[in-house]
Amino acid sequence: MKLIKKTYYLTSLWLLPVTIIGSIFCFLMIEHISYEETDEFLTYEMQRLVRYHEEHDDLPEFHKVADILPDIIYSEPAFKDTLLLEPGDNEMVPHRELYFTINHKGQPFTIVLRHLLLGRDDIAEGTLLIIVGLLLLMATCLILILNILTHKLWTPFYDTLKRISTYKIGGTPPTLKNCNIDEFNALNSTIKTLLTKIDGDYKRNKEFNENLSHELQTQLAIIRLTTEKILNQNINSLDSSTIESVKSIYSSVNKLHQVQKSLMLLSKIGNLEYNENVNINLKEVLEQVFEKYLEAFELREILVTLNLADCPLSIDLGLAQILANNLFKNALKHNVANGFVALTLNKKTFVIENSGLPFKGNPEQFFQRFTKGENGNYGIGLSIVKQICELYNYSISYSIADNSKHIITITFL
């Protein structure tokens, strides 16, 4: 939900109790004022009558006297509420009465003054009108104010958000503009600290990878070239045990190189060094990579079935190729003679099935690094595949059907 929408939503939610309490308050206030005013009016009338009576010993010509009751004495004036039938509307209407006693010619008389009160339904109606009117006005103003304020207040925030969301690891960290809001400045400086740390870590990691691979590979190159030199120079003078030693040195160097390369690749993927996402069609990548393996599949007499539909993805091209390479390699390497490989690709999933050796156990372990197979193979290829899938939030699973059919399924989310 957008910030502004959420603000509207929460504001309206809070306005609800405020409206209810406000309405009750408004109702009670109007009722109170109506009583006060009526009482005041009746009191003034009483005072006028008393004064007039004192001066003229009679009641004025125009008065509000509703009733005169002999024999009842009120030592203090008293207010009373009463309901009277209004003949016009034929309904009971609230009235306010004031009882007070005057002494007329030695005889006490209680005079009743009466005045119409505001009906509760009238008050409720008035309250409703006031509140609804007020609410409409407030809502209009709130929307306007919130819109203007959100835009104005949150601009630095949106600016920061835009800058950091376009930041790519390995690139120059964005400069975040300071503003006059302390919280945003604090946010910016925290982000700056984090980005500097991330950038530093990334660069150190990358440099470490590069240094390590440079130093290792240079030495590996020397060993490899020296072994070759021995092979070439002394071809007629080598005894069989020397040849065996040279062979084992040579094969170890090559294995070391493969392991080193794979580990470096894993480390680089983990360090997000492949982040040039482009729009590709996985179908095309698979077809290109497959061409390289076609001959190998043919030589091993493995039947390959391709069932590829277009599958647009946003992914680093290098990683897409590594993914395809490792999957083909896996399907080839762990296949059996006269076996098969079947690839099915559509927009949502990529399934690669191949015949292989029977396997009992949890096939998910093939995704772990350096799983020892029966013939001592390294299981790093699939762990690279898994790491690439994790990077792009693709789900990947390994299952075995009919004892020896190996199935890898990748689902693009």
254 binding other proteins? (CB under 8 A):
yes
User: Kind of pairing, strands 303-308 and 340-345?
Assistant: parallel
Q: Indicate the residue among 57 and 295 with the shorter CB distance to other proteins.
A: 295
Interacting stretch for other proteins, rule CB under 8 A, among 99-107, 255-263, 351-359, 385-393? 255-263
356 binding other proteins? (CB under 8 A):
no
Shortest distance in whole angstroms from residue 180 CB to other proteins: 41
Q: How many residues does the chain have?
A: 413
296 binding other proteins? (CB under 8 A):
yes
Q: Indicate the residue among 96 and 406 with the shorter CB distance to other proteins.
A: 406
Shortest distance in whole angstroms from residue 218 CB to other proteins: 5
User: CB-hemisphere CA count at 13 Å for 125?
Assistant: 5
**Three-class secondary structure of residue 393 per DSSP:** coil
Helices 120-165 + 3-56 axis angle, to 10: 150
User: Kind of pairing, strands 395-401 and 405-411?
Assistant: antiparallel
Helices 182-233 + 120-165 axis angle, to 10: 30
Of 13, 5, 1, nearest in space to 147 by CA: 5
329 binding other proteins? (CB under 8 A):
yes
64 binding other proteins? (CB under 8 A):
no
User: Residue 254, Cα to own-chain centre: how many angstroms?
Assistant: 48
68 binding other proteins? (CB under 8 A):
no
170: left (phi over 0), alpha (psi -120 to 50) or beta: left
**Three-class secondary structure of residue 351 per DSSP:** strand
Shortest distance in whole angstroms from residue 382 CB to other proteins: 14
Q: Indicate the residue among 58 and 291 with the shorter CB distance to other proteins.
A: 291
Q: Indicate the residue among 216 and 391 with the shorter CB distance to other proteins.
A: 216
Among 235, 314, 361, 413, binds other proteins (CB under 8 A): 235
338 binding other proteins? (CB under 8 A):
no
Q: Indicate the residue among 264 and 407 with the shorter CB distance to other proteins.
A: 264
246 binding other proteins? (CB under 8 A):
yes
For the window 365-384, what string marks contact with other proteins as x by the rule CB under 8 A?
----------x-x-------
Among 34, 110, 127, 325, binds other proteins (CB under 8 A): 325
* Distance (Å) of CA 142 to CA 8, 17, 129, 158, 176: 9, 17, 20, 22, 31
**Is the torsion defined by CA of 182, 184, 188, 193 positive or negative?**
positive
Q: Indicate the residue among 86 and 276 with the shorter CB distance to other proteins.
A: 276
Give the angle subtended at the CA of 164 by the CAs of 158 and 170, to the nearest 5°: 170
* Distance (Å) of CA 136 to CA 23, 142, 208, 354: 14, 10, 65, 69
**Three-class secondary structure of residue 163 per DSSP:** helix
Interacting stretch for other proteins, rule CB under 8 A, among 36-44, 125-133, 240-248, 398-406? 240-248
User: CB-hemisphere CA count at 13 Å for 64?
Assistant: 20
For the window 210-229, what string marks contact with other proteins as x by the rule CB under 8 A?
x--xxxxxx-xxxxxxx-xx
Shortest distance in whole angstroms from residue 339 CB to other proteins: 12
Among 1, 13, 16, 299, binds other proteins (CB under 8 A): 299
274 binding other proteins? (CB under 8 A):
yes
**Is the torsion defined by CA of 44, 50, 55, 60 positive or negative?**
positive
Among 157, 250, 340, 392, binds other proteins (CB under 8 A): 250
Interacting stretch for other proteins, rule CB under 8 A, among 1-9, 44-52, 290-298, 348-356? 290-298
Separation of alpha carbons 158 and 289, rounded Å: 43
Which parts of 60-124 are beta strand (E)?
65-70, 78-86, 91-104, 107-116
292 binding other proteins? (CB under 8 A):
yes
For the window 302-321, what string marks contact with other proteins as x by the rule CB under 8 A?
----------------x---
Residues that bind other proteins (CB under 8 A): 210, 213-218, 220-226, 228-229, 231-232, 235, 238, 243, 246-247, 250, 253-254, 257-258, 261, 264-265, 268, 273-274, 292, 295-296, 299-300, 318, 325, 329, 332-333, 375, 377
